[in-house]
Structure 1
């Protein structure tokens, strides 16, 4: 009975499954810089081929594109990080005064509430709000304590090493992608290779299209946010628009996860005009995101807007944040398997 199942094919499939599980569990978590480098190299491979046709040399085309990417990363990193660190230091220095101002603002609001609600109700509300504000102030101050700053500084060497590994791996992957493809082809039957290539092209096109779509949406958000903040708080427009742009990549939080709390804070502290402008900016960002997202994301992953929206929503509900991206990819994978003939169905109604 067992001999029937113990075949070369079964042992091979079992071994591959075990290796995949071990890789996902042990190797994948520590290989993030390498994986990101490989994905980025695959994304820019068409550009490298196009430039290679003009320059006649892959090494020179890779060197040119890599130098451009490295220059942009260093330039962005320098300006963004220096400005961000400067604002974080200023924020930490001003935090106690801001929180005390928030508590004073609440005291004024409490005086208004006392004229409407019974004393027992206002006392309870005041106690809870005061506890919340004080605990939030203490938590934020404790977060910027010496111990946490020391831990962050201690982690910098590891981050630096990961960054260097990413940069070196990116250059090597850009050079070696043709050899990697040829190696894979040499170890597969031609029919299997053609089907795998078809599936890979569709899936990779969807993944890279989704990444491009996400960055396009965030770039559009950055443009509108930067322009809006120039009229609201011009001195912080650049750094805050960049922070909001990065946060906008998170589908659950989004840009309004920054602008709406900011508007609430401005209103509570008495700056009603600024709160109104931030609220209008939040509404505009929310509307443009919801209007553009299904269209741009659908074009990026190769699906029409409706299936893309359904897949993103179901993925988000099933497995949370990651499902927002995984949902459309799974749908593309299923459709691709049907198109490639890997899954065959003959049923009709």
Structure 2
């Protein structure tokens, strides 16, 4: 390798390192702009659909989609904030009742523990009571730590920053939606025709995978909602419809799940001595978890263009490496790799 090639590779390496360092510091403070760009990219098919279907100019189509998006975000923010404030006021008013209820529940639980362990050896009974006391104490400490003054104050102090970020996001979203074709063309002007074509193929593949992921996730959530409604009609008919709606709304949010509602609900009935209802709720939670872990990889694979096995492997490895967010990132990494291979950017032709 001659000196010219060495200098070229060193220059490229320096550029990559500089961009990586810049991204490390810039991306965290540019999340509203980054999310606005991603949102504009995802909304582009709707803009193009409106242009073709109703023969609109791009500005009018962008304005219509943007207004609908603003209305949707405003409704979500309004109901989220009003519900949060109403729940805070309600909890503050009913705090004495809840404290009294917790005290009664604690006494009732002690009676149940004594009744269930009365035939055990004294050492085992004492050990169980000691373990239970430690568990309750840890729950109490975690509760007090979560709702301490400093954390609540920090949460409320972040609200103005969130509104500013939301305002920047909304303004940037409109500008990105309006100028997206120009930005694409500007980017492609710096690329060779062959490279530009490969980038287009990769972007289209990722776009199709994103739309497929959203469809699959929504379908899984509807399946979870149907099974939840049937299960709760058999377990707690009085609250079946209300709790099904709540569980479905939480389950439709990525990374959350029905277990967040059913586990505390089942634990509450267990502590109150309603063992039968508690066991049924735990069984329902396990069934829903199994459905999500079995059905989700299959539907994800069908909708994002991967077979079930690679999807399951990607989700599992992503979970182990990156936590909850790896469930989403894993399959997209595989799709990105396949797109690079299909376009010839990565060549893996070898035999052992």
TM-score normalized with structure 2 length: 0.85
Distance apart, 1:238 and its partner CA: 7.5
Call closer, same or farther: CA 1:239–1:90 in 2, change over 3 Å: farther
Q: Which runs of 5+ in 1 are unaligned?
A: none
Distance apart, 1:294 and its partner CA: 1.6
Match of 1:31, SS? Answer: helix
Call closer, same or farther: CA 1:83–1:191 in 2, change over 3 Å: same
Call closer, same or farther: CA 1:81–1:277 in 2, change over 3 Å: farther
Matches within 5 A, 1:214-229: 214-218=217-221, 220-222=223-225, 225=228, 228=232
Q: Answer whether contact 1:55 1:61 (CA < 8 A) is retained.
A: no
Partner of 1:249: 254
Distance apart, 1:328 and its partner CA: 1.3
Q: Answer whether contact 2:47 2:65 (CA < 8 A) is retained.
A: yes
Task: Kindly provide the CA deviation profile for residues 158-194 of structure 1, in whole angstroms up to 9, marking residues without a partner as x.
Answer: 0111111111111111111101111011111101111
Whether 1:185 aligns to 2:188 is yes
**Greater Cα offset, 28-37 or 94-103:** 94-103
Match of 1:181, SS? Answer: helix
Q: Answer whether contact 2:247 2:258 (CA < 8 A) is retained.
A: no
Match of 1:104, SS? Answer: helix
Paired with 1:72 and 1:225, the residues of 2 have a C-alpha distance of: 27
Q: Answer whether contact 1:99 1:133 (CA < 8 A) is retained.
A: no
Partner of 1:271: 274
Q: Which runs of 5+ in 2 are unaligned?
A: none
Call closer, same or farther: CA 1:89–1:105 in 2, change over 3 Å: farther
Matches within 5 A, 1:40-59: 40-53=39-52, 54-59=54-59
Distance apart, 1:71 and its partner CA: 1.0
Paired with 1:328 and 1:36, the residues of 2 have a C-alpha distance of: 20
Call closer, same or farther: CA 1:16–1:113 in 2, change over 3 Å: same
Partner of 2:35: 36
Distance apart, 1:49 and its partner CA: 0.5
Call closer, same or farther: CA 1:264–1:127 in 2, change over 3 Å: same
Paired with 2:281 and 2:323, the residues of 1 have a C-alpha distance of: 28
Call closer, same or farther: CA 1:43–1:224 in 2, change over 3 Å: farther
Give the root-mean-square deviation of aligned CA atoms.
Answer: 2.9
**Greater Cα offset, 53-62 or 222-231:** 222-231
Distance apart, 1:301 and its partner CA: 2.0
Call closer, same or farther: CA 1:142–1:194 in 2, change over 3 Å: closer
Call closer, same or farther: CA 1:127–1:214 in 2, change over 3 Å: same
Paired with 2:224 and 2:90, the residues of 1 have a C-alpha distance of: 26
Matches within 5 A, 1:305-320: 305-320=308-323
